[in-house]
Structure 1
């Protein structure tokens, strides 16, 4: 059987017919290693593709008019031409062209061209040596560009270096969150403007279809999502791996949902329709009644007192302004949660078998969601790091962490341990050779990061 390495080596020889390689005989470790090698080859190909795309864009630049490469081929732009030749989307082609702008080029720069900032050159160098993908490069570039005005060049370069160092261990979704937080650290003054920009993009469109159905499409800004998403999660979470329940009534309800003949998507829609119907039946002078949705907004006291900083809706990753935090605190009140210098929430000293709701609120503020996979707090269960029975564990806040149902079961079923090191938590599990390894489980809570940095 040909190895993955042999197959990857032959990929560039277009004179040889392509045949998929069989992987059923690979062991688990070899299979995962093969996936990693394939990813690196893809990054290398992307770097070459970006270089070629950049040259196509250069030969299609606007001042060349109809003599330019794209227009001579009968299309308007280089991106359309690249997409046509490659059989990809114009969005992917645009990403390649943007990445090419960061790469070193052989031709001398135009006399009137502005020098490429050092932080952008760092990103380009990482693409050129296939350390990151062009998609990751574009993500980092756009996030840092949003904070670039008025920010010191060295600070931008340091931020780029941090993100490039972390990118290899993150999915593109996780990198987007991390890059957004770095952007906010650099440009706290711009948080309010970015919040308004996202809010301006919100919409709901109802479109009647020819078959009698009605299509609903839309976008929720972070504040709207913080209200709507937890309600839909609560209605559908038994289907989608949400938290298990210990209350007998909740168990019965969850079992009813599991037996329901409706699909998860139909259940979510019916929940939304029921909410609208209920809202329409209240006092017409108060469309949604007096009860406010259960929404938590997290902010440090320092940011609130100085009115300089950022706040975050629980379960959402984008920062919102201090004005928004004050508005929510004014209407719903505030629950103070005290942390020590290590970032540990102050213990309530309880020794009940189960964590209380107040303790879960504190853990949500501290952890920001599942410490292993990042699912939002509403999807999480409280895990005793020192098991109640086996290790005589206490039910104190610093002895518990938030894990989603899947990760919670994974830890227990594999008999892994989560240990505390000061204010930090580590996942302890054996590697393929049986050697115990410790993987950091950093908090995903932006306010806690600001508190510790402040």
Structure 2
């Protein structure tokens, strides 16, 4: 429901600095609702501009007659938005017309009601795609309804990732084609600037991003809140990096240049480096055996093809992580406090990153938490271990949060009474898509 006019007027005239926390958040929420309503109206107007600028009307069409050339350009000029915003308004506005794609009806309804923002609606539309011989319109409509329900609680990036995941689940045969489309968009450019600097820009496909991202994390994570529980050699290097006078961006660039320099100086045929940055490809035994379905690169949201998984297995090998019938990685309990590297691999495969509610930190940034404290006799075991980023790990230890294991929902976070007097458990779903795929397979058998 959109905010009432008097309420909106009061927020527009209010001084945020003079509001208490409750009023500040209420104003932020209601102004956000107003913005979605205004965007929905803008999108409807933009769609009508496109309708009156039909190609068959030639130079008699609205945009052409006014010299804008395209309806998107006319919307950009008249409304003062950016080129990208104008294109989005036109695309999403078409979901509000009578000729809208029927499988996206729920999205159009959400936009009109002010529940779904224009940018989120565009993310749903793009992520789900269109019906094919393998994907029915009804299935896409069901997926769209699920995404509309999630839209108010998810960021644009997470909603877009979820839309792509639903498409992958519905169309496993198309994973290879979608991976190829992303790979075809990759590029790197060097642009000399007038001030003597050179600008580097580009786009990475998921497989390339996994390699570059692993090197970037290895070079910068101590400055970005990386794990604390590391060996002495790594700790010494991390401490030096924390006190380094260079900015984070400078450290990243210097690392990139050093890698290129070393690569160009190595003798032909000689192996570059004794250690590789870990790039883990996760795939179920069934999908690998049948050579169909998706595989997943750890810390990447996009699915890749089985062929890509096989390429990585052939090139670097992978540590096999076996799952029990209930979807747990093989238990590797030991009589020491810190989890071993193999145990961390197992937790990363199962959890997919920090499992604290609504956290998006990748597995490489996480620490293994003992559900039952080590000091209280808790085992260093993957069944009772859970990945948490440094921030949430410290939150659990220092602010009264606890983590329990529900027999039905799995891991749950229990807030302190200062946050929730009833201490109601909050689900901590795994973010690993391969674990989710295993769960789906078990339900179907």
Structure 1, unpaired ranges of 5+: 12-17, 106-114
Q: Which residue of 2 aligns with 1:278?
A: 262
3-state secondary structure, aligned to 2:115? coil
3-state secondary structure, aligned to 2:236? helix
3-state secondary structure, aligned to 2:224? coil
Q: Which residue of 2 aligns with 1:374?
A: 360
Q: Determine if the alignment matches structure 1 residue 438 to structure 2 residue 413.
A: no
CA deviations 1:331-358 (Å, max 9, x no partner) are 3333222223432223213232111111
Deviation at 1:148, TM superposition (A): 4.2
- The number of aligned residues is 435
Instruction: Describe how 1:244-323 pairs up with structure 2 within 5 A.
Output: 244-286=228-270, 288=272, 292-323=276-307
Residues 8 and 38 in structure 1, CA contact (< 8 A), matched pair in contact too: no
Match among 194, 205, 209 for residue 225 of structure 1: 209
Deviation at 1:130, TM superposition (A): 1.3
Q: Which residue of 1 aligns with 2:84?
A: 91
Q: Determine if the alignment matches structure 1 residue 358 to structure 2 residue 345.
A: no
**TM value normalised by structure 1:** 0.90
Q: Determine if the alignment matches structure 1 residue 324 to structure 2 residue 308.
A: yes
Rounded Cα–Cα distance in structure 2 between residues aligned with 1:313 and 1:433: 37
RMSD of the alignment, in Å?
2.2
Residues 280 and 318 in structure 2, CA contact (< 8 A), matched pair in contact too: no
Identify the range of structure 1 (124-133 vs 20-29) with the bigger mean alpha-carbon deviation: 20-29
Q: Which residue of 2 aligns with 1:184?
A: 168
Match among 380, 383, 397 for residue 369 of structure 2: 383
Rounded Cα–Cα distance in structure 2 between residues aligned with 1:339 and 1:441: 19
3-state secondary structure, aligned to 1:131? coil
Deviation at 1:234, TM superposition (A): 1.4
Q: Which residue of 1 aligns with 2:438?
A: 451
Structure 2, unpaired ranges of 5+: none
Q: 1:342 to 1:46 in 2, by over 3 A?
A: farther
**TM value normalised by structure 2:** 0.91
Q: Determine if the alignment matches structure 1 residue 9 to structure 2 residue 2.
A: no
Instruction: Describe how 1:187-198 pairs up with structure 2 within 5 A.
Output: 187-198=171-182
Instruction: Describe how 1:113-128 pairs up with structure 2 within 5 A.
Output: 116-128=100-112
Q: 1:417 to 1:432 in 2, by over 3 A?
A: closer
Deviation at 1:41, TM superposition (A): 1.5
CA deviations 1:221-274 (Å, max 9, x no partner) are 111111111111111111111212442332222121111111110001111111
CA deviations 1:14-60 (Å, max 9, x no partner) are xxxx9652123433344333322222211111111111112222222
The answer to which structure has the higher helix fraction is 2
Q: Which residue of 2 aligns with 1:392?
A: 377
Q: 1:29 to 1:362 in 2, by over 3 A?
A: farther
Rounded Cα–Cα distance in structure 2 between residues aligned with 1:154 and 1:364: 35
Instruction: Describe how 1:61-210 pairs up with structure 2 within 5 A.
Output: 61-105=54-98, 116-145=100-129, 148-210=132-194
Residues 146 and 183 in structure 1, CA contact (< 8 A), matched pair in contact too: no
Residues 341 and 452 in structure 1, CA contact (< 8 A), matched pair in contact too: no
Rounded Cα–Cα distance in structure 1 between residues aligned with 2:133 and 2:272: 42
Q: Which residue of 1 aligns with 2:24?
A: 31
Deviation at 1:309, TM superposition (A): 0.6
